[in-house]
């Protein structure tokens, strides 16, 4: 029996917790001989994880960069020492991690694994250079074809990605048992938090203004089931017009083949929509974030899995009114296999 710690940091959304908890739940179900524990930076942790979860302070303003390092070190060191004293522990990080944490805790005696988002090339190169020094395995939840699309024209980064520690695991997300059949349009910003350095266009308010404009055009075209999925971190201070508020902690259960999902191109939401056979319309993502969402949007449209529209009410509405993307079923088959989840869990539990 081995011990596994899941270490997650979230700032304006909950995507890292969603992915980490998916891995934790799969291990708990398929590999019950292993004991799991989670450490996170969000009070939402216990909602996602089914194992004991330790919350470290309040949610950071700047995607975890403003963390109290001393507090994180103390908590993680305490958990490791109590969890399995003097024995090798597997610690699984999602995208955000602290060099000082790994140095101070002498992680050389522990098994360290990282799964990292598809980030902008300049950030991906810098982060991978450092991560290769500290992690035994580095997973990217994308296919090899997608990584080539994003990074093949960046030779220094592409060489790093050829390192034997790095692996394109393939995408994996939460799946639901049944598919919702109701005809509707759901606009969503995921967790719905605002980045404190964001300008007006890509603020939550900026997105909502364009979503509402799109909703008015759709309403004029005769569509009635128009929803805004309110994330747990979202504040709404605007008249939503024809949009009805949908509050849920399991948004994918509202997706189905008659659903159109409109989102800013975040990893979990895009693939969750595709998995349920929903028509997906992605739009622009904040320019101050590391995530390479614009390139992902272009890739998904090129593959025929989704439509990509600029953050403009009329352009969004026009994309929503299009037919189902031509290769949606191929994208659905890809994500339903969940090969990435199986690959990651196999390495964690070795």
Reply yes or no on domain 184-335 having CATH 3.30.70.1290: no
Distance CA 55, CA 341 (A): 25
177 pLDDT above the threshold of 80 = no
Residue 181's SS3 state is coil
The whole-number pLDDT of residue 146 equals 96
CA distances from 33 to 2, 4, 27, 277, 341 (A): 8, 11, 9, 35, 18
Q: What share of the chain is helix, strand, coil (3-state, %, to 5)?
A: 40, 15, 45
What pLDDT digit, counting tens, does each position of 92-142 carry?
Answer: 998 877 776 676 666 667 889 999 989 999 999 999 999 999 899 999 999
Sign for the pseudo-dihedral over CA of 23, 25, 29, 34: positive
What's the pLDDT tens digit per position in 268-305? 899 999 999 999 999 998 765 677 888 999 999 999 99
Please give the pLDDT value at position 65. Answer: 38
Determine contact, residues 270/296, Cβ cutoff 8 Å: yes
DSSP 276: T
pLDDT tens for 60-88 read 333 333 345 555 556 666 666 666 556 77
Cα gap 328→33, rounded to integer Å: 38
Two structure tokens written together for 254: 């509202």
- The DSSP secondary-structure symbol of 5 reads E
The contacts found for 126-129 with CB under 8 angstroms, 24 or more apart, are 128/157, 128/160, 128/161, 128/166, 129/160
Q: pTM for the whole thing?
A: 0.87
pLDDT in tens, 184-242: 999 999 887 776 667 788 888 999 999 999 999 999 999 999 999 998 888 888 999 99
Residue 230 contacts residue 236 (beta carbons within 8 Å): yes
Distance CA 328, CA 336 (A): 12
Portions of the chain given CATH number 3.40.50.2000: 3-174+338-348, 184-335
pLDDT tens sequence across 20-47: 999 999 999 999 999 998 888 777 788 8
8 A C-beta contact, residue 245 and residue 228? yes
Q: What CATH code would you report for 3-174+338-348?
A: 3.40.50.2000
Residue-level pLDDT at 104: 63
Q: Which two tokens stand for residue 96?
A: 């955000």
Alpha carbons 53 and 140: distance in angstroms, whole number: 25
């Amino acid at each position: 029996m081995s011990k596994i710690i899941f270490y997650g940091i979230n700032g304006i959304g909950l995507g890292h917790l969603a992915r980490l908890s998916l891995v934790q739940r799969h291990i708990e179900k398929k590999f019950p001989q292993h004991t799991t524990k989670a450490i996170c930076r969000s009070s939402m942790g216990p909602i996602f994880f089914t194992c004991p979860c330790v919350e470290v302070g309040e949610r950071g303003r700047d995607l975890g960069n403003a963390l109290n390092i001393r507090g994180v070190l103390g908590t993680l060191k305490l958990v490791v020492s109590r969890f399995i004293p003097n024995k090798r522990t597997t610690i699984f990080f999602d995208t955000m991690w602290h060099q000082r944490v790994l140095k101070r805790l002498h992680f050389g005696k522990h098994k360290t694994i990282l799964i990292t988002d598809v980030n902008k090339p300049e950030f991906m190169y810098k982060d991978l250079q450092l991560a290769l020094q500290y992690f035994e395995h580095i997973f990217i939840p994308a296919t090899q074809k997608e990584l080539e699309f994003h990074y093949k024209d960046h030779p220094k980064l592409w060489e790093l990605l050829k390192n034997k520690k790095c692996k394109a695991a393939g995408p994996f997300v939460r799946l639901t048992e049944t598919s919702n059949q109701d005809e509707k349009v759901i606009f969503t910003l995921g967790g719905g938090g605002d980045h404190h350095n964001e300008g007006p266009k890509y603020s939550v308010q900026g997105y909502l203004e364009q979503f509402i404009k799109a909703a008015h055009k759709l309403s004029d075209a005769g569509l009635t089931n128009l929803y805004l999925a309110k994330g747990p971190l979202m504040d709404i201070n605007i008249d939503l017009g024809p949009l009805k508020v949908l509050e849920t902690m399991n948004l994918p259960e509202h997706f189905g083949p008659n659903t159109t999902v409109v989102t800013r191109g975040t990893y979990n939401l895009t693939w969750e929509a595709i998995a349920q056979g929903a028509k997906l319309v992605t739009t622009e993502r904040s320019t101050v974030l590391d995530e390479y969402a614009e390139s992902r949007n272009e890739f998904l449209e090129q593959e025929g899995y989704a439509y990509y529209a600029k953050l403009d009410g009329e352009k969004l509405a026009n994309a929503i009114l299009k037919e189902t993307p031509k290769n949606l079923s191929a994208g659905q088959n890809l994500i339903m296999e969940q090969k990435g989840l199986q690959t990651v869990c196999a390495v964690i539990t070795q």
